[in-house]
Amino acid sequence: MGDVKASLWAMLVEAWLLRAAAAHPERAALQTPDESMSYAELLSDARAGAAELIKRGVRPGQRVGIALPAGLAFARALHACLLLGAIAVPVDLRLGAAERQHIIDGTAALVQEPLGENVTPLSPAAEESGAPPPPDDLFLRVVHDLDSTAVVIHTSGSTSTPKPVELTYGNLLWSALGSAVALGSDSDERWLCTLPVSHIGGLSILVRSAIYASTAVLHEHFQTERVLRALREDEITLVSLVPTTLARLLDGGLEHPPTLRCALTGGGPAGEALLERARAAGVPLSQTYGLTEACSQVTTTPTAAIYREGQLGGGVPLFCTRLRIAEDGEIMLAGPTVAPAMLDRAGWLTTGDLGRLDEDGHLHVTGRSADTIVSGGENVAPAEVEAVIEAHPDVLEAAVLARPDPEWGEVVTAVVVPRAGAVLEADALRAHCAGHLAAYKVPKHVTFLSEPLPRTRSGKLLRRELR
């Protein structure tokens, strides 16, 4: 009997917002360019928001859509759901009406304005029930069940229609613990979030900060000058970026940010040229590989390893994550950060990403299996070719994709955006590639664009829009 009780209690942990507010009530939980909120205030507002959801008919285990921009109102709604035990479903505000409707289908309520102003009940039962509402605190949680679903995040849709991923409280907690081991943790941490909070990269910053009882600094979206000012003046210690936004900050003059100890960069490969620019500018950089199904970070390369060894991989797995490479080169994952519904019968997640492990156990991501180009029977990883092209000093960014060809089946094609003022010729760029790649990997065709390449809000390249 004792063993059964121990196993049951092992599934429960103290609600992290309650714990943070009890330990550090006056500490800033959230800060935006315009306002801030302490942990005591966030807990009070989240309780009030949860009570409002209850009065609207929402019950634990039901889904609540949150269609709000990154900011204090979004954070209040998120924590209100977590206190209630309702499942938060963030909605990307940039999606079209049909895409947004697809996400909110099946939710019991939709929060489109700050709690306290308007919550739209969507469940017929919530609207038609004539029963009096229960006491405000009847359903409020003092513990989190690690096996219960906390949030539903929709993938960024880089290769297909966004799909829902159910992440548990356990997934979120283990991800936060693994990240703290990989990056270190400071009681005075101030983590700047410039990523969409509707995706796991941004949302996880809010959750981790509550678990750590540290401060999340939220920007509604990335603006180069605003982020530069924050890194210089707002005592930011951590920031999450993608290679594109890192490049924009360096172009904007970022140098030796005074309090920054780590710029965590993911969402796609960062080439050697970008890494060297960051090193020369005194930016402490850490690369990460992650995905929604594994609750954000999977591997992380320490800053020292990047600059000392020139590591271009995603680094070593988080301490709680198991990683192996299948015979076909696909990256396979297991562990407590992986969404339970995404595991196969053997307990592994098939990521769709290709990679290899070096002798030190560092992961090197080589591309997506769906993006692999087969030219004359030879496999070509677009990410490898893109890295070579982007190493050219006159190239801002590049995308590599397949074009049908009657002789070779598929041929390698490059879409290139030159740096401002640069003059590039296709033959010269192909010669540059030939100096670093096998002949069959050198692009047969090169197209130049003056506009940025299409990307998701989380920075992933949308090759399908270039085909």
DSSP 8-state symbol, 342: G
Kindly state whether residue 200 falls inside one of the protein's structural domains: no
Say whether 181 sits in a helix, a strand or coil. helix
Q: Which domain holds residue 85?
A: 1-167
Q: What is the pLDDT of residue 218?
A: 97
Q: Are residues 228 and 315 in the same domain?
A: yes
Kindly state whether residue 210 falls inside one of the protein's structural domains: no
* Residue carrying structure tokens 């285990």: 61
| CATH number for the domain that contains residue 430 | 3.30.300.30
Per-residue pLDDT of the chain (467 residues; tens, 9 = 90+): 445 444 445 589 999 999 999 999 999 999 999 999 999 999 999 999 999 999 889 999 999 999 999 999 999 999 999 999 999 999 988 877 888 888 999 899 999 999 976 566 665 544 444 444 455 555 677 899 999 999 999 986 554 567 899 999 999 999 999 999 999 888 899 999 999 999 999 999 999 999 999 999 999 989 999 999 999 999 999 999 988 899 899 999 999 999 999 999 987 777 777 888 998 999 999 989 999 999 999 999 876 666 665 445 568 899 999 999 999 889 999 999 999 999 999 999 999 888 899 888 889 888 777 788 888 777 788 888 998 999 899 999 999 998 888 777 788 999 999 998 888 999 999 999 999 888 889 999 999 998 999 887 667 788 878 87
Q: Are residues 330 and 434 in the same domain?
A: no
Q: What is the pLDDT of residue 121?
A: 63
Q: Are residues 157 and 49 in the same domain?
A: yes
Domain's final residue, options 327, 349, 369: 369
Please report, for residues 16, 23, 137, 241, 391, the alpha-carbon distance to residue 286 in angstroms, rounded to integers and kept in the order given.
27, 30, 42, 10, 19
Kindly state whether residue 183 falls inside one of the protein's structural domains: no
Q: What is the pLDDT of residue 395?
A: 93
Q: What is the pLDDT of residue 46?
A: 94
Phi, psi of 308 (to 5 degrees): -85, -40
Q: How far is CA 95 from the centre of its chain?
A: 17
Q: What is the pLDDT of residue 308?
A: 60
Q: Are residues 269 and 338 in the same domain?
A: yes
The candidate with the shortest Cα–Cα distance to 203, out of 242, 152, 252, is 152
Q: What is the pLDDT of residue 375?
A: 83
Count of residues in the chain: 467
Could you tell me if residue 141 is left (phi over 0), alpha (psi between -120 and 50 degrees) or otherwise beta? beta
Which amino acid does the sequence have at 409? G
Q: Are residues 52 and 41 in the same domain?
A: yes
pTM of the full predicted structure? 0.82
What is the number of domains present in the chain? 3
Q: Are residues 283 and 335 in the same domain?
A: yes
Say whether 367 sits in a helix, a strand or coil. strand
Q: Are residues 28 and 106 in the same domain?
A: yes
Kindly state whether residue 196 falls inside one of the protein's structural domains: no
Q: What is the pLDDT of residue 407?
A: 74
Q: What is the pLDDT of residue 59?
A: 93
Could you tell me if residue 329 is left (phi over 0), alpha (psi between -120 and 50 degrees) or otherwise beta? left
Q: Are residues 343 and 406 in the same domain?
A: no
| CATH number for the domain that contains residue 159 | 3.40.50.12780
Task: In whole angstroms, give the CA distance from residue 48 to residue 440.
Answer: 62
Q: Are residues 137 and 7 in the same domain?
A: yes
Q: What is the pLDDT of residue 271?
A: 73
Cβ burial of 286 (10 Å; 0-12, 13-18, 19+) is buried
Kindly state whether residue 377 falls inside one of the protein's structural domains: yes
Kindly state whether residue 214 falls inside one of the protein's structural domains: no
Q: What is the pLDDT of residue 306?
A: 63
Kindly state whether residue 204 falls inside one of the protein's structural domains: no
